[in-house]
Amino acid sequence: MRVGIIGAGFFGFHIARQLERRHPDIQVEMFEKESAPLVGAGTNNQCRLHMGFHYPRSGYTIYQSIMGFDRFVSEYGEFLTDVSDNLYAVHNEGLVSVDQYLAVMDSFHLPYETQPVSSDLFRNPDEIGLLVRVPEKSIDVRSIRQNLGSCLRGSVRVGTPIDEVDAENGLLRSGTTEFGPFDYIINASYTNPNLGLPPALHFGVKWELAVLVLARTSLANDAAVTLMDGEYVSVYPAYGGMHTLSSVRHTPMRRYDDAMDLAADYPNRFQLAQDEGRERAIADDVARHLRIEYDTEELWVTAKTKLSTDMGDSRVTEVRRHGRLLSVLCGKIDAVFEASDAILRELR
């Protein structure tokens, strides 16, 4: 069986790995538009392996996180680090009350320990209604970038943007070059999920350019703080003793309803972030709430795709089929098994 995968991001590699394991005779070929694999949102993100604490407004997403967490740990444990002081703070003026937050977490039997709110960490301790320590982990995206490719039996063709899919005949086209025929094509491009799908099957999507600050901070390497639920901030361990700083208000830099507008801005994304002073805005927002010193190492600017139907905390995973094409869209890394299970079912 010959399978072509569009997009050599984390999802593309994960799906290739599951297919190669299940079908020993399979031949996987991946096509990546950038000059290197694993450079998109799958490896430039908040590095949070969710368990559900981030989603008090969606029971579905909590359930999805619980289901994904253990499978992720058993498959990708080598790329995970423990966060022994992983704190979630519930703001008194947030979108959920302390009672609601606790009721939801308790209903899913999520494990947490209540902590005292310290003025050493929080600038305004009175604004925090609840502080809990949780056992979520951090994904070492640098180690994923360095090592995941070595497990692949198939090939990755970089610098090859796929601009046309012939789902009936299993063909991919990049400019004037044609690849295939493939028995199956899997679209794991994240930002282009409608490539090759007929309009009736199109995902309703919108996009964001999102900015994170990767920094050395005064927080311990194995500590994290997430202030929620609403327009607040997060400081989460990434790798090498660094944290990502993010702000619900300033991390989303630009929003798009049209993929062409995103594609036009994407090559200039770092310049846009610099021109708009995003690093300062995110750091200032963090400093309004937390007593954390930081020293920026780099900015991460990536594209995020959202289903238009995703409201509040919902993060739905969907796989749509047309002829030999299977297109996947998913808003969270731990849900990668939900996507690959659906694809394996279709290929049976």
Ligand X SMILES: Cc1cc2nc3c(=O)[nH]c(=O)nc-3n(C[C@H](O)[C@H](O)[C@H](O)COP(=O)(O)OP(=O)(O)OC[C@H]3O[C@@H](n4cnc5c(N)ncnc54)[C@H](O)[C@@H]3O)c2cc1C
Q: Cα dist. 346→28, 59, 82, 185 in Å?
A: 16, 27, 35, 12
* DSSP one-letter string for 199-228: GGG---EEEEEEEEEEEEESS-TTEEEEEE
Question: How near is the Cβ of 58 to ligand X at its closest, in Å?
Answer: 14
Residue 189 is encoded by which pair of tokens?
């491009």
Residue 188 is encoded by which pair of tokens?
């794991």
- Residue 121: how many other CB atoms lie within 10 Å: 19
Longest CA–CA separation in the chain, Å: 63
CB 116 within 8 A of CB 255: no
Three state DSSP letters for 36-55: CCCCCCCCCCCCEECCCCCC
Question: How near is the Cβ of 243 to ligand X at its closest, in Å?
Answer: 12
Q: What's the CA gap between 46 and 342, in Å, rounded?
A: 26
CB 9 within 8 A of CB 45: no
Question: How near is the Cβ of 23 to ligand X at its closest, in Å?
Answer: 21
CA 225, distance to chain mean position in Å, is 18
Identify which of residues 58 and 189 has a Cβ nearer to ligand X in the complex: 189
Question: How near is the Cβ of 340 to ligand X at its closest, in Å?
Answer: 12
If you count DSSP H runs as helices and E runs as strands, how many of each does the chain have, helices first? 8, 21
CB 243 within 8 A of CB 296: no
Question: How near is the Cβ of 25 to ligand X at its closest, in Å?
Answer: 25
Identify which of residues 6 and 286 has a Cβ nearer to ligand X in the complex: 6
Question: How near is the Cβ of 195 to ligand X at its closest, in Å?
Answer: 6
CB 294 within 8 A of CB 219: no
Question: How near is the Cβ of 138 to ligand X at its closest, in Å?
Answer: 9
Question: How near is the Cβ of 120 to ligand X at its closest, in Å?
Answer: 26
Identify which of residues 26 and 224 has a Cβ nearer to ligand X in the complex: 224
Identify which of residues 243 and 332 has a Cβ nearer to ligand X in the complex: 332
Kind plus residue range of the DSSP H or E element containing 246: strand 242-247
Q: Cα dist. 199→49, 171, 310 in Å?
A: 34, 19, 20
Binding site for ligand X (CB under 6 A): 6-12, 31-34, 39-43, 45-48, 50, 161-162, 188-192, 210, 212, 302, 304, 330-334
Identify which of residues 90 and 210 has a Cβ nearer to ligand X in the complex: 210
Identify which of residues 64 and 130 has a Cβ nearer to ligand X in the complex: 64
Identify which of residues 127 and 265 has a Cβ nearer to ligand X in the complex: 265
CB 244 within 8 A of CB 217: no
Question: How near is the Cβ of 210 to ligand X at its closest, in Å?
Answer: 4
Q: What's the CA gap between 326 and 187, in Å, rounded?
A: 6
Q: What's the CA gap between 269 and 310, in Å, rounded?
A: 25
Q: If DSSP codes are grouped into helix, strand and coil, which group holds residue 271?
A: helix
Identify which of residues 26 and 191 has a Cβ nearer to ligand X in the complex: 191
Identify which of residues 7 and 170 has a Cβ nearer to ligand X in the complex: 7
